[in-house]
Amino acid sequence: MKPFLRWAGSKVQLIPTIKTYWQPQFKRYVEPFCGSAALFFSVQPQWAVLSDLNSELICTLAQIQIAPDIVSEVLSRMPTDERSYYRVRAQDPAHLSPNERAAQFIYLNALCFNGLYRTNGEGRFNVPYGSKKKSKLFDALELREASRLLNNALLEASDFQSIVDRTTLGDFIYLDPPYATGSKRIFNAYGKDLFTTKDLIRLTAALDRADNRGVRFVLSYADVPEIHDFKKKWTTCTVQARRNISGFTGSRRKVNEIIVTNCKGIDMSEST
């Protein structure tokens, strides 16, 4: 199943490769930078932990988990023209019911420019209306199916570190962090807090601790100098993907993505 949200940086193209590391005998699937959770919806694990720093996103997943049909009902009453978009965008999510809040998130995600999630300094969503017409705002059956798959997932709005630190032997972690890089050509602005090289250092330390507990992980990242430490510690392989430059779908180019893993027994013929 495809994710029901559009998400900048989603590794949809890498799913066939990353999926080869997942084994059904893993105890839990843990995704601390879940975004639209593309890999989760493809793997469909029995038990999962999905987490992201974006609390609006996690509230939306939680509402789809428990009440997909009510969210669909709210969405079905929302007009999709540009004026309505800016009216919906201006509503403070804190003043909406949980179902209205999830509907607002899905609505903005579907109609905004390139499905980006970007906020201003006060944390308010500020992406403009997308110029391309969307054929469908939402799919009620898809939301119901997402709800079924989310049924056994624990959802948490959190920084990655506490999630990774709570994993135990038998868990599998998939990590898809934003790119901590100075390059303006790489999109990494998901909210008011930028992911920086300091976060990458915290992530390396957390993965070191997880590795020592026998937890298996796969991390996907851009092939940038900042990933040097990961390359020294664990097995890596390079995969080619087409990427939007700075979040613009019009300027796509082929880039090298790196997969870093401590999973064993997998064919790493392209390993470096």
Ligand X SMILES: C[S@@+](CC[C@H](N)C(=O)[O-])C[C@H]1O[C@@H](n2cnc3c(N)ncnc32)[C@H](O)[C@@H]1O
Which of 84/119 has CB closer to ligand X? Answer: 119
Q: Least separation, in Å, of the C-beta of 124 and ligand X?
A: 15
Q: Does 176 bind ligand X (CB under 6 A)?
A: yes
Q: Does 38 bind ligand X (CB under 6 A)?
A: yes
Q: Which of 21, 29, 32, 103 binds ligand X (CB under 6 A)?
A: 32
Strand pairing category for 248-261 and 216-222: antiparallel
| Calpha distance 103→18 (Å, rounded) | 31
Q: Which of 160, 172, 217, 230 binds ligand X (CB under 6 A)?
A: 160
Q: Which of 9, 45, 130, 247 binds ligand X (CB under 6 A)?
A: 9
Q: Least separation, in Å, of the C-beta of 271 and ligand X?
A: 22
Q: Do 103 and 71 form a contact (C-beta atoms < 8 A)?
A: yes
Which of 81/165 has CB closer to ligand X? Answer: 165
| Calpha distance 249→157 (Å, rounded) | 28
Q: Which of 17, 53, 231, 241 binds ligand X (CB under 6 A)?
A: 53
Q: Which stretch binds ligand X (CB under 6 A): 27-35, 84-92, 94-102, 264-272?
A: 27-35
Q: Which stretch binds ligand X (CB under 6 A): 4-12, 64-72, 98-106, 144-152?
A: 4-12
Which of 60/63 has CB closer to ligand X? Answer: 60
Q: Which of 14, 30, 37, 227 binds ligand X (CB under 6 A)?
A: 37
Which of 8/74 has CB closer to ligand X? Answer: 8
Q: Does 247 bind ligand X (CB under 6 A)?
A: no
| Calpha distance 115→9 (Å, rounded) | 10
**The dihedral of CA 142, 144, 145, 150: what is its sign?**
positive
Number of C-beta neighbours around residue 29 at 10 A: 23
| Calpha distance 81→188 (Å, rounded) | 29
| Calpha distance 12→3 (Å, rounded) | 9
Among 66, 127, 128, CA closest to 97: 66
Q: Which of 18, 54, 171, 236 binds ligand X (CB under 6 A)?
A: 54
Q: Least separation, in Å, of the C-beta of 217 and ligand X?
A: 14
Q: How big is the site for ligand X, counted in residues (CB under 6 A)? A: 22
What is the chain's Cα-based Rg?
A: 18
Q: In this structure, which amino acid lies at residue 36?
A: S
Strand partners, 92: none
